């Protein structure tokens, strides 16, 4: 199981004051020294954390970028210019604090099928951020995605209440179904140092994308140590 480190909240902190600190480039350089698969960055429509230049700067470092993006023409144009290692198509609502639910691939499958074509033609791996729902898994397969990323928010909330078994089971069933259809499976959202060990119970998970908990720990122990501790838990 590989780790994608989401560095959006380095930008959140930087943007709190305007200016340049803490530096995304410095964060990216530190993270890239660790045994991670990619740096995950979400270029939101409102640019509330990552800005366009951040993507270009991190790309210049030679980093593998997993670009989280809404399925809009504006962001697609930027993705086609940057050519990240992978894109993860996410739903986006302006008022939300974070990505609150999975993408409804099923109800917009014809649009998404066309939308991802130019990305795939550029050799970019395409992932769909979905709830662990069979209908959404099948729609992701239908449109030709390479990966699904299962939204682990409900699992993480349930873990806090000590009642996670049903949510974990949903993840296991959805992952198996996706793999049977030839999709590769990632997971992310709300994963932290306490609950992440349970992801090892899901067979064949490729990658975990984790941001908030790593950046939060980094405030106290430093980014490199925070990433190392997470890597230790998922190996
Ligand atoms: N994966 C996706 C698709 C996301 O949108 C997010 C949140 O930006 C994450 C993973 C990481 O979630 P968290 O910050 O809770 O670790």
Q: Where are the beta strands (DSSP E) in the chain?
A: 2-6, 38-42, 65-69, 86-89, 125-130, 147-151, 184-188, 207-210
pLDDT of residue 94: 63
Length of the chain: 235
In sequence order, the β-bridge partners of residue 208 are 3, 187
pLDDT of residue 101: 85
Active site residue 9: no
Q: Is 189 in the pocket of ligand 1 (CB under 6 A)?
A: yes
* Rounded distance from Cα 211 to ligand 1 centre (Å): 6
**Sign of the alpha-carbon dihedral angle for 150, 156, 161, 162:** positive
**pLDDT tens digits along 145-198:** 999 999 999 999 999 999 999 999 999 999 999 999 999 999 999 999 999 999
Q: Is 212 in the pocket of ligand 1 (CB under 6 A)?
A: yes
**Sign of the alpha-carbon dihedral angle for 179, 181, 185, 188:** negative
Query: What does pTM read for this prediction?
Result: 0.96
Q: Is 191 in the pocket of ligand 1 (CB under 6 A)?
A: yes
Among 49, 151, 177, 189, the active-site one is 189
Nearest-atom index, ligand 1, CA of 214:
16
Contact 82, 54 (CB under 8 A): no
Closest CA to ligand 1's atom 6: 189
Task: Calculate mean pLDDT across residues 77-96.
Answer: 91
| Nearest in space to 88 (alpha carbons), one of 47, 49, 44, 51 | 44
DSSP 235: -
**pLDDT tens digits along 11-30:** 999 999 999 999 999 999 99
Task: Calculate mean pLDDT across residues 94-110.
Answer: 83
Look at the domain 2-234 and name its fold. TIM Barrel (3.20.20)
**Would you list the domain boundaries of the chain?**
2-234
Q: Is 147 in the pocket of ligand 1 (CB under 6 A)?
A: no
Active site residue 42: yes
């Amino acid at each position: 199981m590989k780790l994608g480190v989401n560095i959006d909240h380095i930008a959140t902190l930087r943007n709190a004051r305007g200016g340049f600190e803490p530096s995304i480039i410095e964060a990216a350089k530190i993270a890239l020294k660790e045994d991670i698969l990619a740096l995950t960055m979400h270029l939101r429509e409102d640019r509330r954390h990552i800005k366009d230049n951040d993507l270009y700067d991190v790309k210049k470092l030679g980093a593998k970028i997993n670009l989280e993006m809404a399925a809009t023409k504006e962001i697609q144009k930027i993705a086609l210019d940057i050519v990240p290692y992978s894109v993860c198509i996410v739903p986006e609502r302006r008022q939300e604090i974070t990505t609150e639910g999975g993408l409804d691939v099923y109800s917009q499958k014809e649009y998404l099928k066309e939308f991802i074509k130019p990305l795939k033609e550029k050799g970019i791996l395409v992932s769909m951020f979905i709830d662990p729902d069979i209908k959404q898994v099948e729609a992701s397969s239908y449109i030709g995605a390479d990966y699904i990323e299962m939204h682990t928010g409900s699992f993480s909330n349930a873990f806090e209440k000590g009642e996670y078994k049903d949510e974990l089971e949903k993840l296991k069933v959805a992952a198996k179904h996706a793999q049977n259809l030839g999709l590769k499976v990632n997971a992310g959202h709300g994963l932290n140092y306490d609950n992440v060990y349970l992801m090892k119970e899901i067979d064949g998970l490729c990658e975990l994308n984790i941001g908030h908990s790593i950046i939060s720990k980094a405030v106290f122990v430093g980014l490199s140590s925070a990433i190392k501790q997470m890597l230790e838990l998922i190996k």
